[in-house]
Structure 1
């Protein structure tokens, strides 16, 4: 059965992939965006530029009824946040804003609200074991705290209103159009810059953007997803060294990975004031994504190798 789905942040990295996946399924897609002509072809754009979705209920077009909402728009994690009160800023968008969208969607007839959270809502200090959805959350930064608070507030709103809430927590998302640290890593490898990544055994879960999009479509359409929280990954975790070598291969670049001991990297991090970045680089972060497989019968349609191939091909064609 086809449906109409509204996507906030439809013109973003993940939003474009989700839009394409829904359109291929035959659904109609409404994209809530700030700038015109930025969503994928075939998406009906709704321009909305108020901060933190203030007034969205009053401005929701009568004709824009929807069956479900996928809420991607957020104040994203920033490495060097200069805001006077970062937690308050994150809460305004990620908690208050999400609740405003959920309430407006419910009044517009939506039955389901898929909230794209982050594994940062749980935290990152879980070396040596897989993180399940039952893990006791312990977020370590304002972004993660706001995402956890949004999850809890939406679940409570769902109980009160009858709106079906689904929480999805992805790890790092990569694919064509990726930005931030993953793009910087590809750029360094493509340029042949020697990197001290040859001896990092820690494994980290990733998810290819098209795998995440496919999972979100399932969470939007499958009745069994209502009220659930899911971790979504590619199903195979690479070590940092394996990831760097795989990218070098797909980028047709020389493999210049220096085998620097992890202990020396930690010392370098302390001396340069980059301990947090080094800890993320060398630390393990593995998610157990078996729950969505068992509950919905969902499995990632694309392998890690395919995802890295597509990402590297995009990089080579645009840089």
Structure 2
């Protein structure tokens, strides 16, 4: 099928925390963007933006949207785990829907398929050295395993169809509107309550939403990104202790960070059914982005300190309260 002269991008999960920002980033670069998501409407006013509300299970009905598309960025996924969800749901949404979607893409001569996976494909903790692309995948939870399945579908189907592919494995993404544990941590700081995490010194990798958007854009068009997997981060790892201190500073927080015996915190989390949260606070999960820097000549557009001040500073705190 023939393509339009101007490049256009199809972005799934466009109504999500990351998806909306990726849409805005590509639009700012002068591209036409077609987004789809579960949210009925998306507040992006731009002449080059087109939004469609549908579930990827219905992609066959909307395949015509891919007729003029050059690049696909696949962000749609079921991410936050819940004990109320059947584990099979993660495989159906993250793996099976991806398989069906890239199969449809292969029928429309898409040039490149960019899949946003997760560092959880590598594992939950990086004990001896930071994770990189050479490490054998070791996903330990249903979310990580479902994304690993999807990665394999992407590679197999894309290669069979002679379609270029890129897989990106980011760690926790933070920025305006972030939810889950990062948001809970900010609320705790804003309440000015004592925070008992001073003993958590193991470092973890994060990635600012601006850095992730810039890297996705790079992978969409850089010739050296073709058929590659990239582990990515801010390249500036933080411990739970330094993360909390940084948030305290930029939000003018007065909460006291104190040292509580880790064993007591572990027991409390287990009793409350929050063992996974304790692990994320206490265990290392670092990412080595040497491949991205060397192969793509890429570097983060924001440092961790710049990003935290930009996203969560006092001015933004006032906006959140209004």
Class of the TM-score when normalised by the shorter of the 2 chains? over 0.9
* Contact 1:33/1:45, CA 8 A, preserved across alignment: no
Instruction: Report the equivalent of 1:24.
Output: 28
Aligned partner of residue 60 in structure 1, secondary structure: helix
CA distance in 1, matches of 2:159, 2:282: 40
* Contact 1:66/1:105, CA 8 A, preserved across alignment: no
* Contact 1:245/1:255, CA 8 A, preserved across alignment: no
* 1:8-55 per-position Cα deviation (integer Å, ceiling 9, x unaligned): 0112111122112111211111111233431533263342424xx234
- TM superposition shift of 1:274: 2.8
| Alignment partner of 1:37 is 2:28 | no
- Give the structure-1-normalised TM-score: 0.93
CA distance in 2, matches of 1:213, 1:230: 14
* 1:52-95 per-position Cα deviation (integer Å, ceiling 9, x unaligned): x23413422367520011000001131x3212x31x21111111
- TM superposition shift of 1:7: 0.4
**1:132-171 → structure 2 map (5 Å cutoff):** 132-171=132-171
Aligned partner of residue 257 in structure 2, secondary structure: coil
* Contact 1:231/1:287, CA 8 A, preserved across alignment: yes
**1:16-165 → structure 2 map (5 Å cutoff):** 16-42=20-46, 44-50=49-55, 53-61=56-64, 64-78=67-81, 80-83=82-85, 85-86=86-87, 88-165=88-165
- TM superposition shift of 1:124: 0.8
CA distance in 2, matches of 1:242, 1:59: 46
Cα pair distance change 1:39/1:145, threshold 3 Å: farther
CA distance in 1, matches of 2:92, 2:52: 20
What count of residue pairs does the alignment treat as equivalent? 314
Instruction: Report the equivalent of 2:9.
Output: 5
CA distance in 2, matches of 1:201, 1:224: 36
CA distance in 2, matches of 1:298, 1:272: 42
Indicate the RMSD between aligned Cα atoms, in angstroms.
1.8
- Select between 34-43 and 92-101 the one with higher mean Cα deviation: 34-43
CA distance in 2, matches of 1:64, 1:35: 23
* Contact 1:128/1:284, CA 8 A, preserved across alignment: no
* Contact 2:191/2:255, CA 8 A, preserved across alignment: no
**Runs of 5+ unmatched residues, structure 2:** none
Cα pair distance change 1:257/1:102, threshold 3 Å: same
Cα pair distance change 1:220/1:101, threshold 3 Å: same
CA distance in 2, matches of 1:38, 1:170: 24
- Give the structure-2-normalised TM-score: 0.92
* Contact 2:176/2:311, CA 8 A, preserved across alignment: yes
* 1:96-135 per-position Cα deviation (integer Å, ceiling 9, x unaligned): 1112221222322311110000111121132242111111
* Contact 2:71/2:110, CA 8 A, preserved across alignment: yes
**Runs of 5+ unmatched residues, structure 1:** none
